Chains A and B, each alone.
Chain A
């Protein structure tokens, strides 16, 4: 008798699963689907599930089982951070009540309000949050595409690409040249390339002190420029050469098979080459019809809602929102605004005005940390900076050390906030 009852119950719950919207007291739980489990998507999924106490059905779609942060991956290159310490699992997010599905989202039907997965499944939503990060613009650097990323790594999505780049730098011949092709604006993590140059310089100054670093940059200026240039001159004198657009830095082609970089027609032989191409919103944002001609997904500044669809929100690097830099901190900050709005619209909980903030820490050398940050608010057409700060050149060593220690505190804080 008991067995029969159990069998009966099991078949009922299986049927409900097929129907995908099990009735709870006569009402379906509203469904939120989040595409992308990084700093933005992970945060929004966990916050909605945690704060709604089960009143909202939250599904997170993320292909990888372990997320490796881009932030601090330069510190791994420099030998200041372990590779494993960059990785975070989804157990904490699942424990908050999120249904974590490890699969690729390959399509969004915004009329039917469903997300199609690579496995063939179709996941319905009431509200969709798209947080796919970045993809690279095709042919942004002539001669380079992802089929060449083993020869010339981008190492700009963390994970194995960063391991590969580190390995190549470690095995570079004595006195060899490390070349970085820096990206045009806008791109993820504005101080990232400068910090990477610093960390590679740190590594080379210890193991290969006659090596050279060549930065080919299409931009007139770059984030924290004065701080980085001061640091390079102080810690790594003579090692770093930067070619800006005035000397052809915007006219670059690479030949990965020959390990050559052609700058304004002049061929340079290099030993390791890190190509960071121009960027656009992650592919799924484009497939979902959420992007504009610039390749990014425009959003309403007050709530990160897609201007294309009132039931869709776009977070983090993929969004075109205004003044906030594309960073993990920004994505985490935007996610909290979206979580508050989505939960409010689905459950009637209080909706508070948007608040955004960001700080980016960078490490230049041992115990030499700097930071830049700002608070933001929703303007009429875009997110605008309210007030900002940046570390100063010539700061005391003790302050720089404190800034570095603070960055470690931030890393531990934000990953606890995202992944639980």
Chain B
């Protein structure tokens, strides 16, 4: 009887130990340093702060303790939605795991991010995210991370209404690598992006402000109308 009790408590100890050691090791990050990490790693897809809206990714206000895939007005991958239904919640541990290697935690996620291996930078980033979660009064007046566009595009370019049918034809060139299902298996999914973000990204490749030779080559011969057509088509495409 005594032996059995001991072994049970050992089991519990074994279960708890890594968690608490982990929590101790990572609890404190530097939110100020995290703001810089956020700008480098996250801001091209996610907004945070007052007035933040969903872009390529959902906004990240109040991310702590929020259920995964719980914004009704954002289109998540089926994989993340399933995990959300199964109870995945963005607590400290899960955020660390997801940011370290998104596809290891949610294999079918559409988040096209390779992961942040550096634990200290990850802790700083999470400390920064936390500022916008449990202390809403701290949300600054002007969103500190409001997207500074990679490339200044004239309102005329952004106002072009894309020809969806033309976009569908042009998208065939994309579909050789980017899957229409939105699946991300080594090449990012591009389905369901806000049109403006798509347009900015393609013009950034076109002007070689964004690195990637294949994309620069593809974008080099796309005109403004063609980029708008692609943006319109992919924004509407259902997973």
> Are B214 and A413 in contact, CB atoms less than 8 angstroms apart?
no
Contact of A373 with B213 at beta-carbon distance under 8 Å, contacts A329-B176, A405-B186, A414-B176 already known: yes
Does B181 sit within 8 A of A, measured CB to CB? Answer: yes
User: Do A357 and B173 touch (CB < 8 A)?
Assistant: yes
Interface status of B217 (Cβ within 8 A of chain A): yes
Jot down 16 A-B pairs with beta carbons below 8 A, ordered by A.
Answer: A47-B172, A332-B176, A333-B173, A333-B176, A350-B165, A357-B173, A357-B176, A357-B217, A359-B214, A387-B221, A389-B217, A402-B114, A405-B186, A407-B186, A410-B177, A412-B185
Contact with B along A344-366 (1 / 0, CB 8 A): 00000010100101010000000
Contact B176 A408 (CB under 8 A): no
A388 within 8 A of B: yes
Q: How far does the alpha carbon of A333 sit from the alpha carbon of B183 in the complex, in Å?
A: 21
Docked complex Cα distance between A402 and B212 (Å): 11
CA separation between A389 and B169, bound complex, in Å? 24
* Minimum distance in angstroms from B27 CB to a CB of chain A: 30
0/1 string, B168-194, CB within 8 A of A gives 1 = 011011011111110111110000000
Question: Is there contact, CB below 8 Å, between B173 and A409?
Answer: no
Interface size in chain A (residues, C-beta < 8 A) = 32
* Pair B178/A413 contact, Cβ less than 8 Å: yes
Contact A410 B173 (CB under 8 A): no
B166 in the interface, Cβ–Cβ < 8 Å? yes
Are B220 and A375 in contact, with the CB atoms below 8 A? yes
Complex Cα spacing A287 to B218, Å: 37
Could you tell me the distance in whole angstroms from the C-beta of A279 to the nearest C-beta in chain B? 23
Q: Are B177 and A413 in contact (CB under 8 A)?
A: yes
Tell me the A357-415 residues at the B interface (CB within 8 Å).
357, 359, 371, 373-375, 377, 386-389, 402, 405-410, 412-414
B173 touches A414 (CB 8 A): no
Residues of chain B contacted by A280 (CB below 8 angstroms): none
A47 to B175, CA, bound (A): 12
A340 at the interface (CB under 8 A from B): yes
**Interchain CA distance A184-B220 in the complex, whole Å:** 33
Interface size class of B (residues with CB under 8 A): 20 to 34
- In Å, the complex CA distance between A137 and B55 comes to 55
- B172 close to A336 (CB less than 8 A): yes
Q: How far is the CA of A8 from the CA of B216 in the complex (A)?
A: 61
A73 to chain B, nearest CB (A): 18
Q: Does A260 contact B (CB under 8 A)?
A: no
Q: Is A9 an interface residue (CB 8 A)?
A: no
Q: Name the residue of chain A whose CB is nearest to the CB of B186.
A: A409
A377→B221 CA distance, assembly (Å): 10
Least CB distance, B100 to chain A, in whole angstroms: 17
Partner of B176, one of A340, A405, A413: A413
Residue ID in chain B nearest A349 by CB atoms: B165
Residue contact B173 to A413, C-beta cutoff 8 Å:
no
A20 sits at the interface (CB 8 A): no
Q: Name the B residues within 8 Å of A340 (CB-CB).
A: 169
Q: A387-B221, A410-B186 are in contact. List 19 more A-B contacts (CB 8 A).
A: A47-B172, A329-B176, A333-B173, A336-B173, A350-B165, A359-B177, A359-B214, A371-B214, A373-B213, A386-B221, A387-B217, A387-B220, A389-B216, A409-B185, A410-B187, A413-B175, A413-B177, A413-B179, A417-B175
Residue of A332, A373, A410 ringed by the most chain B CB atoms within 10 A: A410
**Are B172 and A410 closer than 8 Å at their CB atoms?**
no
Q: Which residues of A contact B214 (CB under 8 A)?
A: 359, 371, 373, 389, 406
Instruction: Kindly state the separation between the CA atoms of A350 and B164 in the bound complex, as whole angstroms.
Output: 12
CA distance A235 to B125 in the complex (A): 38
Report the nearest A residue to B222, measured CB to CB: A355
* CB closest residue in chain B, given A377: B221
Separation of A371 and B185 alpha carbons in the complex (Å): 18
- Residues of chain A within 8 A of B185, CB atoms compared: 408-409, 412-413
